[in-house]
Structure 1
Amino acid sequence: MNIAYWIVAGLLALFYFYAGTLKVIRSRDQLRPMMAWVDRIPLPALRALGTVETLGATGLILPPLTGIAPSLAPAAAIGFVLLQTGAIAVHLTGEDRRIALNVGLIATAAVTIWLATGL
């Protein structure tokens, strides 16, 4: 297996699994200090977003690890690029200009896509 893929995808999956789990189990009040935008979307949408993030993290790791449907790994990374593109839009429409993390996550997911196609 490609060691670079496992490093980059593992870090990306760890980030999204953590962030997604927080969105699923924590209240708005607990999330607000980290995520100022949580008041602008309905709670079920926030929970669904967390679920999508944890499933995407799983999609980066399990398919290449098991060899079952390994094409799901780049699909999950593409999903993260799209997710962060939407996140940038949410930040900018809410007058929150802190998008450096989002841009970094897009770049990391793009590298993951590139590395996953070489598996």
Structure 2
Amino acid sequence: MNVFLWIVAGVLAAFFLAAGVTKLSQSKAKLGENPQMGWTKDFSAGTLKLIGAAEALGALGLILPGALDIAPVLVPLAATGLAVIMLGAIVVHARRKESQPIILNAVILVLALVVAIFRFGPNSF
């Protein structure tokens, strides 16, 4: 189970790091040009940067504390925070009546919850 949780955490970390760095490195206008990122028009540039920073830091929090054995309780906390971000994403896409992104967000939400539940509970460090 430990290997499975590391794999899931690694996949989540890669996804969130890419998403976070994209939001941090590109302007709001550039993000809005992507048809998959139409939701960015509903938020300010500062909010997009905040979301990007939270995603990037959450990605680091999924891997580094467990790998370095420094405050490993941060791993399930990071997973919980990323699950909250995905809940927010589901709400935003539901309001915009975008069903396709909701499916991806729900899958990522479930994976983040699996890491959070098992790292808080039976497979903690």
TM-score by length of 1: 0.92
Equivalent residue of 1:70, what SS? coil
Candidates 95, 105, 111, aligned match of 1:93? 95
CA distance in structure 1 between the partners assigned to 2:75 and 2:96 by the alignment: 32
Letter in 1 for 2:7: I
**Which position in structure 2 is the counterpart of 1:108?**
111
Letter in 2 for 1:21: V
Candidates 60, 65, 69, aligned match of 2:62? 60
1:79-90 aligned within 5 A: 79-90=81-92
Letter in 2 for 1:103: A
CA distance in structure 1 between the partners assigned to 2:28 and 2:85 by the alignment: 20
Shift of 1:36: 1.3
Q: Deviation per CA, 1:61-91, whole angstroms, max 9, x where unpaired?
A: 1110111110000000011111111111111
How many residue pairs are counted as aligned between the two chains? 119
Structure 1 runs of 4+ with >3 Å offset:
none
Which stretch of the first structure deviates more once superposed, 41-50 or 91-100? 91-100
CA distance in structure 2 between the partners assigned to 1:108 and 1:101 by the alignment: 11
Identity %: 39
Structure 2: where are the runs of 5+ without partners? none
Equivalent residue of 1:31, what SS? helix
1:1-119 aligned within 5 A: 2-32=2-32, 33=34, 34-98=36-100, 99-117=102-120, 118=123, 119=125
Shift of 1:6: 1.4
